Chains A and B, each alone.
Chain A
Amino acid sequence: EVQLVESGGGLVKPGGSLKLSCAASGFTFSTYSMNWVRQAPGKGLEWVSSISSSSHYIYYADSVKGRFTISRDNAKNSLYLQMNSLRAEDTAVYYCARDRGAVVVGHDYWGQGTVVTVSS
């Protein structure tokens, strides 16, 4: 059974940092591209970042470019999101999500999400 379990969320002050983790199991993690998608309270879904299976290709939303860094450790079946210079507008539930296949047609498995709150 495919499982994605996020952790690392919490309350942080504006300008602070946080590192999210996503532990994957039930599939060959090293062969799938992965993503972070967030959802602000009461709002819709916003794609944040993607990383290819070998980390060769990395993409970011403009809203986080230069502040967030996506990475992965295939030996540990883990995905990460290092978030720096956090702002109030980064407050959201952060989901990790797997790309369905080699050609991206959507995200077929999602974690339960981890809550990030940026507030003084």
Chain B
Amino acid sequence: DIQMTQSPSTLSASVGDRVTITCRASQSISTWLAWYQQKPGKAPKFLIYKASSLESGVPSRFSGSGSGTEFTLTINSLQPEDFATYYCQQCNSYPWTFGQGTKVEIK
């Protein structure tokens, strides 16, 4: 199985900050990577697919990059509604696997 490791596990930031979350795969997954945002008590929200393609309706302050084994999710100018937990997921091969999550907290 492909292991996905996110860092950091928790990130403290302020409104307006630029934040970056890293996701590493245990083997190459090309660009078969998705990112999700989850708020407490809610279902995950699909943000990015194919490592860098923004899902329709997702604000342009979100961006993704990377290929192979290393990927990043960047949020430019963090907004109050962006405080949440973010997960990466590899879609290269079954079983689909998620990172452990990165919680973005208010500093």
DSSP majority for the B interface? loop
Could you tell me how many residues of chain B have their Cβ less than 8 Å away from some Cβ of chain A? 25
Number of A-B contacts defined by CB within 8 Å: 61
For B87, the chain A residues whose CB sits under 8 A away are 44-45
On chain B, the residues within 8 Å of A108 by CB distance are: 46, 55
Q: Give CA–CA (A110, B91) in the complex, Å.
A: 17
Residues of chain A in range 45-78 having any CB-CB distance to chain B below 8 Å: 45-47, 50, 59-62
Task: Tell whether A30 is near chain B: CB-to-CB under 8 Å.
Answer: no
Contact bitstring A98-111, B, C-beta under 8 A = 1, else 0: 00100011111111
Complex contact B98–A45 (CB within 8 A): yes
The residue from B38, B46, B50 contacting A107, defined by CB atoms under 8 A apart? B46
The reply to whether the CB of A112 lies closer than 8 angstroms to some CB of chain B is: yes
A107–B99 Cα distance when bound, in Å, is 15
A45 touching B95, Cβ below 8 Å:
no
